[in-house]
Amino acid sequence: MFTGIIEEIGKIKGITHNGKCGKIVISAKKVLNNINLGDSICVDGICLTATEIFSDSFSADFMPETYKKTKINYLKTGSYVNLERALLLNGRLGGHIVTGHVDGIGKIINKYAIDNSVILKIQAEKELLKYIVKKGSVALDGVSLTVFEVDADTFSVSLIPHTYSETTLYFLDINCRVNIETDILAKYLEKLTGAFANKTQNSLSLLDLI
């Protein structure tokens, strides 16, 4: 479990592909503190398991599902990535609940400044947009953000100066891809209300038969 509050920006030292799986090595400093083999680290919003830990970097494996659902196939040696260690139970939940399970990829179609904020407009599939609501939470490349506008095929977020300067969103421009994780609460709510609706419908069908 993560918060979407980025601890540092790492740099990819190497990435190897074996079909649709592979291995990634990332330079880091802060997230290496008090980390052990098998611990989870959120890399650009992707929950990865540390398989090797060095003095200045760590490595992790990625699977076909990660390749399919995230922008990991767009990353290369020298790319910058957002890093966050897993949330401690005695820590503050400063952002929102982020699982590190990316739902899909979006594309930046506009980027502009308004006063001291930077606006990103993201194009995404309707399957993702149904979970994104105005004033709700979304994670872009692992960064916890608040949605301020949603329409039929896009949504927009506003970045404060600190978030913009301390994350890789600073480097992204129009046509760049971003990993999107929608609010986990919305997905649970959809499943629960769907199950309730089905149960109600089935009950009504039985009554009709009587």
Q: Are 33 and 62 found together in one domain?
A: yes
Name 164's Cβ contacts closer than 8 Å, sequence gap at least 6: 118, 170
Look at the alpha carbons of 200, 205, 208, 209 in this order and tell me if their dihedral is positive or negative: negative
- CA of 155: how far to CAs of 53, 64, 132, 139, 187, in Å? 37, 28, 8, 12, 18
Q: Are 175 and 113 found together in one domain?
A: yes
Q: Are 53 and 122 found together in one domain?
A: no
> How many domains would you assign to the chain?
2
**Tens-digit pLDDT string for the chain (210 aa):** 999 999 999 999 999 999 999 999 999 999 999 999 999 999 999 999 999 999 999 999 999 999 999 999 999 999 999 999 999 887 778 889 999 999 999 999 999 999 999 999 999 999 999 999 999 999 999 999 999 999 999 999 999 999 999 999 999 999 999 999 999 988 888 888 875 556 555 554 434 434
- For 117, the domain range is 104-189
pLDDT score for 105: 97
Examine residue 135 and state whether it is found in any structural domain, yes or no. Answer: yes
Q: Are 115 and 69 found together in one domain?
A: no
Q: Are 108 and 176 found together in one domain?
A: yes
Q: Are 56 and 130 found together in one domain?
A: no
Examine residue 195 and state whether it is found in any structural domain, yes or no. Answer: no
Examine residue 201 and state whether it is found in any structural domain, yes or no. Answer: no
Q: Are 13 and 54 found together in one domain?
A: yes
Look up the CATH number of the domain holding residue 80. Answer: 2.40.30.20
Name 79's Cβ contacts closer than 8 Å, sequence gap at least 6: 11, 12
pTM score over 0.75: yes
Q: Are 79 and 113 found together in one domain?
A: no
